[in-house]
Amino acid sequence: MGDRLARQLRFTVELDKLKQVLRRNSLGDGSRRENSAEHSWHLAMMAAILAEHANAAVDIGRVMQMVLVHDVVEIDAGDTFAYDPVGMLDQAERETCAADRLFSLLPPDQTEAVRGLWEEFEARETAEARFAVALDRLQPLLQNFECGGGTWRSHGVTEEMVRARCLPISGGSAALGAYADGLIEEAVARGMIGEGLTAGS
């Protein structure tokens, strides 16, 4: 087996560890926490189904590659909870170190290409990246709503915090942004989220 194939397979085996990284979000039925590999797959499917709602024409294949790659760094860096300001202080540093190690497992040309996808997602400068980020912010909103508040309730997350987290959705899709706004309003009306909630309520 050549060195190129050996490196590609080594990276592929390493990816299995993403299945062990638990996110704070539960599945939509609330039965258990979602892992990061499941999250990435879900985003790829959303990209395939919802591409027509992007603000601009996008290369859907590139969007799908981006969402599949965007959380690979969590193998080393772990999942940083979206509403944890302390964890976010060193998130960029932890994830950059993870990218250095993980993507370097690949052959040099693929290291550059795959890391480029990750960096493009983080920069949010292309239409593809903005749409990918929109999906990444929408998916946990949908899941929290489906399970009656989920991490919003268990971590005392407020409406203001959720709205701030969901702001980038409109940057990738005005239609999905409007849908997210309506969903947040309904969640507040149903008592799933709001200023009155406290951790554990």
Q: What is the pLDDT of residue 48?
A: 97
* CA–CA separation, 21 and 34 (whole Å): 9
CATH architecture of 3-189: Orthogonal Bundle (1.10)
For the chain, domain boundaries: 3-189
Question: pLDDT tens across 2-27, in order?
Answer: 999 999 999 999 999 999 999 998 99
- In this predicted structure, the answer to whether residue 154 has a pLDDT above a threshold of 80 is yes
Question: pLDDT tens across 132-151, in order?
Answer: 999 999 999 999 999 999 99
C-alpha count within 13 angstroms, C-beta hemisphere, residue 52 = 1
- In this predicted structure, the answer to whether residue 199 has a pLDDT above a threshold of 70 is no
Question: pLDDT tens across 40-60, in order?
Answer: 999 999 999 999 999 999 999
DSSP 81: P
Q: Mean pLDDT across the stretch 173-190?
A: 97
Q: What is the pLDDT of residue 195?
A: 63
Position 200 confidence tier, pLDDT thresholds 50, 70, 90: very low
